[in-house]
Chains A and B, each alone.
Chain A
Amino acid sequence: MEENIKKIMHVMRRAPHGSIYTYEGLEMILIMAAYEQDLSVVFIGDGVYALKKGQDTSGISIKGFAKTFTALDGYDVEKLYVDRRSLEERGLSEDDLLVDVEVLDSAEIGRRMNEQDVVIHH
């Protein structure tokens, strides 16, 4: 069975709400989580905004989903990585994020990316 487990990385690179990519990406992750593959999710560039605390979408009539990222742990999706430089460029730090993540430098994220069988950008 072991050799049938694929390493699949989801890469979030867009801000939430302005387009549906992040939300539908999250839906994809939740389904894939049921298949017992080696899943990871990495937040790069504007993708880090998906994890920002204090989002309130009630005024734009779009369903908020930031809290769903905090539930990924319950689906056994535990490998959540955030690009340190992307946070810093946006004046953010780990304290601004809703979810427990590993903040990593580019080289380390690149190394983990390079181990994947499948990489899907959202």
Chain B
Amino acid sequence: MKIGILLKEGPYNHQASDTAYKFAEAAIRKGHTIDAVFLYNDGVINATRLGDPPQDDRNVAERWSALAREHGFEVLACIAASKRRGITDELMIEGGSITGLGTLTDIAIRNDRLLTFGD
């Protein structure tokens, strides 16, 4: 099964990014393909590498970056949502980039499922 993920909340404020991550991990483990993670609303904040959480906490952005690189999917932040929130190309995690909502539409069209996580 090919799965797209739409993530609509930023890290830490809400559990959405954690749930999406745990789901993606499990789906990959079970032999499914994560095609892309599209970030919308405050979800775009998941893609900045400037986050520096305390040592004993998870690093949400770094974790997405590692999973994306290991399994060959992209973390895509919506350009309009990013511009509003000061998220730019220079801030992107490895494996992350900024793109338009048209890409989300393509993700919705080409995958067996589009799962939304958010508040």
Contacts and interface: CB of A to CB of B under 8 A. Distances in A.
Interface of A: 4, 6, 8, 20-21, 24, 27-28, 31-32, 34-35, 37, 117-121
A37 B41 contact: no
B108 interface: yes
A118 B40 contact: no
A119 B80 CA distance: 21
B49 to A, nearest CB: 23
Closest 10 CB pairs of A and B: A31-B101, A35-B105, A118-B114, A32-B105, A118-B108, A6-B109, A24-B41, A28-B101, A120-B116, A8-B108
Contact of A4 (B40, B81, B101, B109): B109
A67 B72 CA distance: 42
Interface string B96-110: 000011101110110
Contact of A28 (B104, B106, B114): B104
A120 B43 CA distance: 15
Given A8-B108, A118-B114, A120-B116, A35 B81 contact: no
